[in-house]
């Protein structure tokens, strides 16, 4: 594969993007400890230590990613895509079931979620294909391969079931097609077909997914069942006030009223303990990361690099918006982790891998 790296490239290294990522990840460690310390686990078995280990491994992997030219990595996209698709299929056959979903698979004793990695690998695969179709993506036939690249993981992830992750792939797909030069009329027709099919889609949802949508409309429909988590989450965020109750002092968190508080609902812990100002700091840092990502996309003239950064920017933006919106009750609960903050090695690793690709593009943008 060969390494294409020059120390001069560090002049284009996006320090704001990198350190914002690190700061958010450290805030995640602090919040994870607060959300889980009451379990009184030995330190060597603690959630904090496991997440910290994943953070170090992810950072080491990130250094490898930025040293190898991104177009070399994109050349491997189809191979990585095929591997993750196989893993997604195996998950349905032999995967571990947790909380009613079959999303985890173990290889050599190591459990991971292929659905977290397909987000990044799909971006790489689309960047590979769209990058090779300069000035010809307006043709209808050139949409066939991208549609197949999206459809395979969409269906496999939906069957786990993981509705949130499956739907998250859609805006990434359309944004990259738009930047890649696809005909806007073709994209509009695809969106129209999708919207027209939504009433039929309802019949394919699991009962608990339908219940979540009903609870979103009115949480009091099932206040002790499906509506319980969102009610407690809103109480947590609202009770934090301006300055919060202090680290490890949130009553909803510490008294175990809030389920899944170290994973999907960790923003509720931040809102309760650090208040509006603490939550605002996190939001500003996310905004900075997303801004820097799109700035890199707009400042590189290389088509593949532009597509990569666009895809990652859309992934991060939608994941943050969906997660925070569901914790404050303005979107249905769909099980999307908060990037860099929610507990989970697969999510953390995949997110840092995605940001590493963007840093890689930024370091080489002056070469084109």
Quick: pLDDT tens for 280-289: 999 999 999 9
As given in the structure block, the two tokens for residue 47 are: 């959630």
Rounded percentage of the chain residues whose pLDDT exceeds 90: 54
Distance CA 293, CA 297 (A): 6
Burial (0-12, 13-18, 19+ Cβ within 10 Å), 195? exposed
The length of the chain is 368
Residue pLDDT, tens place only, 6-24: 555 666 789 999 999 999 9
Query: What is the pLDDT at residue 324?
Result: 94
Residue pLDDT, tens place only, 136-168: 888 888 899 999 999 999 999 988 888 889 999
Rounded percentage of the chain residues whose pLDDT exceeds 70: 86
What does pLDDT average to in each consecutive run of 10 residues of the chain (368 residues)?
53 90 96 85 85 95 93 95 94 72 71 91 96 84 93 92 89 95 91 83 69 67 67 85 85 72 89 93 97 95 95 97 90 88 94 96 81
Distance CA 182, CA 176 (A): 9
**Mean pLDDT in the chain?**
87
Residue pLDDT, tens place only, 177-203: 999 989 999 999 999 988 887 777 776
């Amino acid at each position: 594969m060969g390494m294409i790296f020059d120390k001069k490239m560090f002049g284009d290294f996006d320090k704001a993007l990198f350190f914002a990522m690190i700061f958010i990840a450290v805030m995640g460690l602090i919040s994870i400890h607060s959300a889980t310390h009451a379990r009184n686990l030995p330190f060597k078995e603690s959630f904090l230590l496991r997440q910290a280990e994943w953070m170090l491994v992810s950072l080491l992997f990130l250094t490898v990613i930025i040293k190898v030219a991104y177009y070399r990595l994109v050349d491997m996209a189809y191979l990585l895509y095929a591997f993750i698709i196989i893993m997604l299929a195996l998950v349905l056959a032999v995967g571990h079931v947790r909380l009613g979903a079959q999303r985890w698979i173990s290889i050599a004793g190591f459990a991971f979620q292929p659905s977290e990695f397909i987000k990044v690998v799909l971006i790489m695969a689309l960047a590979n294909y769209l990058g090779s179709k300069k000035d010809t993506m307006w043709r209808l036939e050139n949409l066939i391969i991208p549609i197949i690249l999206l459809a395979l993981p969409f269906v496999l992830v939906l069957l786990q079931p993981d509705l949130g992750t499956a739907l998250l792939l859609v805006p990434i797909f359309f944004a990259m097609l738009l930047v890649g030069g696809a005909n806007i009329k073709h994209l509009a027709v695809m969106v129209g077909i999708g919207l027209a099919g939504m009433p039929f889609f309802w019949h394919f949802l699991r009962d608990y997914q339908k219940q979540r949508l009903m609870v979103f409309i009115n949480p009091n429909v099932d206040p002790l069942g499906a509506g319980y988590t969102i009610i407690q989450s809103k109480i947590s965020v609202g009770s934090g006030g301006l300055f919060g109750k202090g680290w490890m002092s949130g009553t909803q968190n510490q008294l175990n009223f809030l389920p899944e508080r170290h994973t999907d609902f960790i923003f509720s812990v931040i809102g309760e303990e650090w208040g509006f100002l603490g939550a605002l700091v996190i939001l500003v840092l996310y905004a900075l990361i997303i801004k820097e990502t799109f700035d890199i996309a707009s400042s590189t003239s290389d088509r593949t690099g532009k597509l990569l950064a666009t895809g990652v920017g859309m992934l991060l933006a939608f994941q943050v918006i969906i997660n925070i919106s569901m914790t404050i009750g303005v979107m249905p609960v769909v099980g999307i982790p908060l990037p860099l903050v929610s507990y989970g090695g697969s999510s953390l690793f995949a997110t840092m891998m995605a940001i590493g690709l963007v840093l890689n593009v930024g370091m080489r943008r002056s070469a084109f």
